[in-house]
Chains A and B, each alone.
Chain A
């Protein structure tokens, strides 16, 4: 019987709804902690610099991805970078539409591996890949040591 049974009325389909309660706190790590502390306290971006091959990375690392050397040096790279890529985003995490599409961009820094993905505050008509952009930070009293300490990137 059962395998031959069919439910033809979709309204009689039964299901159970539930929610898995889950939350986490993820630490930034040794180099990440330094990056966000510097952002919060000094309003600056730092990159890690490999003592052996000189490779710089943002977000900073504690070992070099190129030569596996341990990194203890961090250098300031300033708040100005280059727009590497961008996109327009019309809905949020949960799928709700934004009133106005958000612009997101990946910003890279001269001679540095990796980059920062953040909001862009640049008129759509002026966006160009390779353009110089500068981070707009929240006032130091409002900074908490998170990515949200950056308000957006705007045209430099």
Chain B
């Protein structure tokens, strides 16, 4: 059978604006189970502690706490509380919000960073944000410490730590 030219074309912006459309917002609500490892980690945050899991197979102290060691592929062997201080492993200066909307000129920049936590194995860290520091002053390897929400306001979430600030 001869294939004829498909009788369709893309729409220009004007044509799209004029076209009849179905407009819909599906409600995509979800509840995500913390699980045992992360559950313990988040419960500890509420108490103002950072909890790691240890593996007796490879000897690592892993952060965040988890139920199994992904290198040894075996259950982890217990939880250990680590310090709430660490060093900046990597960071970024973000000029946009999480929804990609631009920050205004006078707004402070977001400073997402991976913090290697003291007491955990080398390279084990958490992604958080830096505060009380100018973007230009952030250095990799810089010592930082957690600034916590007041105990009464903590909910068992990673946001129980407000940000990490430089240790003076």
Q: Which residues of A contact B (CB under 8 A)?
A: 1-5, 7, 12-28, 30, 32-33, 36-37, 62-63, 68, 70, 94, 145-146
By a CB distance below 8 angstroms, the chain A residues around B20 are 27-28, 32-33, 36-37, 145-146
Additional pairs, 13, CB under 8 Å, beyond known A28-B19, A63-B7: A1-B75, A2-B76, A3-B75, A7-B36, A7-B39, A17-B29, A17-B30, A17-B31, A18-B32, A19-B28, A19-B30, A28-B20, A33-B20
Which of B16, B20, B24 has the most chain A CB atoms inside 10 A of its CB? Answer: B20
Q: Assess whether A24 is in contact with B24, with CB atoms less than 8 Å apart.
A: yes
Minimum CB–CB distance from A16 to chain B (whole Å) comes to: 5
Q: Is B58 an interface residue (CB 8 A)?
A: no
Contact status B1-A25, CB under 8 Å:
no
For chain B, residues 34 to 53, give those with C-beta under 8 angstroms from any C-beta of chain A. 34, 36-37, 39, 42-43, 53
Which residues of B are found within 8 Å of A24, using beta-carbon distances? Answer: 23-24
Asked if B25 and A25 sit within 8 Å, CB to CB, the answer is: no
Judging by beta carbons under 8 Å apart, are B76 and A1 in contact? yes
- Within 8 Å CB of A20, what residues of B? 28, 30
Question: Is B21 in the interface zone, CB < 8 Å from A?
Answer: yes
A102 to chain B, nearest CB (A): 19
Question: A68 — nearest CB in chain B belongs to which residue?
Answer: B1
Q: Once bound together, how far apart are the Cα atoms of A36 and B33, in whole Å?
A: 45
Which residue of the partner chain A has the closest CB to B65? A2
**How far does the alpha carbon of A23 sit from the alpha carbon of B25 in the complex, in Å?**
4
Chain B residues engaging chain A, CB cutoff 8 angstroms: 1, 4, 7-8, 11, 16, 19-34, 36-37, 39, 42-43, 53, 66-68, 75-78, 99, 156-157
Shortest Cβ distance from residue A138 to the other chain B in the assembled complex, whole angstroms: 15
Note all chain A residues with C-beta closer than 8 A to B7.
30, 62-63, 70
A23 to B28, CA, bound (A): 10
- Asked, given contacts A15-B34, A30-B8, whether A23 binds B24 with beta carbons under 8 Å apart, the answer is yes
Contact between B19 and A1 (Cβ–Cβ < 8 Å)?
no
CB distance from A24 to the nearest CB of B (A): 6
Is the beta-carbon distance between B28 and A22 smaller than 8 angstroms? yes
With a CB–CB cut-off of 8 A, which chain A residues contact B78?
A: 1
Interchain CA distance A36-B26 in the complex, whole Å? 23
Measured in the bound complex, the distance between the Cα atoms of B34 and A15 in whole Å is 5
Contacts of B33 in A (CB 8 A): 13-15
Chain B min CB distance to A142 (Å): 15
